[in-house]
Structure 1
């Protein structure tokens, strides 16, 4: 159904456009405050929606334990690492690190739920990572890869190091000096949260769990902001508050509610692969509203990203069509349901 397909990609559209809305706000505020604002009010909105639609609240201690773990990993850790990493990492490079998490989700889903990935699935995931790399990595890196004679990749490489140690030094420098390790931890936290949401849905309505996990995960971030940050809101003007409101209501409440609803019902690998769309939407709307120009290699990245999503989501049909392996249904080992996106 076309409407169902639109709902499926809606979280990634909203996340991408929320990134555009937030771009001009960060210089006027502080990262942990923004992370808290994106979670706690959004969680309240989600719970109000659940109240009006008659969704049942958690009733058992086990349900609350799963929600608390969910909130700690997917909300507090993910948003905390993301906020801290953005202070020291370029937005494009950070987006690449975050949106590589479908690979972690695929591996975890294979090990825990037995989701079959197959040749076409792995090929699609690989193409997706390459595509978002073309979109988000600094131009100097891309040009350096295309023209190996150019040794300056913008990484601060030191000429006095022997060549055999150069790559090691670059990796260590990038991870610890540029904050990429924080982005990697954020991506892993998001991947683990996606997997945990499947277990949470066994004990409580997934939309209700989404609301509570944002509140429980956002409170520690507000506490960190109160302890470590100053001037969190004094410099925010009306347009900045509107941008924060968009990121909270659409980029968090609606986007997270839809994402974890779908995560509780179908293939985590297929759903997570759609995360590759987030930087695509961010780039396209940044070009439309902020006059940010896309380079030719970024357009190539957009195209490869769309190809990767097709391969991952149609991997069973392609395998059956080309007789490389029998088509498989993705079985939910937790709930016992067989559903595909």
Structure 2
């Protein structure tokens, strides 16, 4: 079942459901502004470990149960490796090589993978409207992320502007798109894993511990491969990192995985299409990243995809009701076109058929 916001006991439930994607989008902009003065693995670790502590401390005072048994800890450790270390590591390394808006777009190509995995593993129904919405989302993200020259060349049937072969791979390495796609796949797998983790541990507690366990390898990698990660950080950089840690990680992850453990994954993950919209808008405002006309079309298609995916059951019910109403109207018009003699049965014909029915019944009774 999709999320029933009106039935949620949480105050301001619709805003809380959208909040993680707003916070992720704006945190991407904050991280991009900080990356010139620090190193990626250190920044990724700072975004995870303190955020995990910020989640666990209030959860402890709320008496939320701690994980028990090796099974619970193994699931949390796997969750931390995939959604913590791999996702944040790929994201930070990719952010060095690409813009904040474009990086967010590439990461949020994950709903297709989540929808497919949720369909196979949990039997969640996507439906015609859902797949149509996902298709709009893919097209929208493509318009946002692919170079404008490529898109215009494809529309005009001219592929000379598109470089194939090793040049494409080299371009992906330089721009970081492939790292962002790996980050997207890591988060998609992490979104699926939270269902299994929540069977053995409290989802909020598991979220906090997975951040700490996932952040430790990032700090170790930073100590081994990076030098002076925090020497050149300014006051504004520390404020941006604090925002990314507190709001972009602790609050956003806590809300996201709380909903993911209790709702339809395809409906929830479809809202991630909002993240690149926020990242592109705030990237333009604070970093001067400019949207071209093609990318604005992509934003529009992205918003359409969100509506179609989240309203797919409502749209299906309305479609069935419209069909039922149309059939009833068609029957009514047919009946209105008949004469009264054609609408009511003739008593004489009923009388003529009655003996035949009796004869048949008597014949069956004699055979028995």
**TM-score in same-fold range (> 0.5):** yes
Residue number in structure 1 paired with 2:132: 123
**1:252 Cα deviation from its structure 2 partner:** 0.3
Of residues 226, 229, 232, the one that matches 2:226 is: 229
Larger radius of gyration: 2
Q: Contact between 1:96 and 1:137, CA under 8 Å: does it hold in 2?
A: no
Secondary structure of residue in 2 paired with 1:24:
helix
Q: If the length of structure 1 is used for normalisation, what is the TM-score? A: 0.86
Q: Contact between 2:21 and 2:274, CA under 8 Å: does it hold in 1?
A: yes
**1:269 Cα deviation from its structure 2 partner:** 0.5
State the alpha-carbon separation in 2 of the partners of residues 145 and 249 from structure 1.
Answer: 43
Q: Contact between 2:28 and 2:100, CA under 8 Å: does it hold in 1?
A: no
Of residues 29, 34, 42, the one that matches 2:38 is: 29
**1:73 Cα deviation from its structure 2 partner:** 0.8
More helix by share: 2
Counterpart mapping for 1:1-341 below 5 A? 1=6, 3-149=12-158, 151-153=160-162, 157=163, 167-169=164-166, 171-176=168-173, 178-323=175-320
Aligned pairs, number = 313
Secondary structure of residue in 2 paired with 1:250:
helix
Q: Note the residue ranges of structure 1 that are not aligned, 5 or more in a row.
A: 158-166, 325-341
**1:6 Cα deviation from its structure 2 partner:** 0.5
State the alpha-carbon separation in 2 of the partners of residues 184 and 134 from structure 1.
Answer: 16
Q: Note the residue ranges of structure 2 that are not aligned, 5 or more in a row.
A: 1-5, 322-368
- Residues 56-96 of structure 1: per-residue CA shift (max 9 Å, x gap): 11122211111111101110111122223333445444333
- Residues 133-160 of structure 1: per-residue CA shift (max 9 Å, x gap): 222333333443444447334xxx3xxx
Instruction: Report the aligned-residue RMSD.
Output: 2.1
4+ runs of 1 displaced by more than 6 Å? Answer: none
Q: More displaced, 289-298 or 273-282?
A: 289-298
Q: More displaced, 32-41 or 124-133?
A: 124-133
Secondary structure of residue in 1 paired with 2:229:
coil
- Residues 76-117 of structure 1: per-residue CA shift (max 9 Å, x gap): 111122223333445444333211100000000000000000
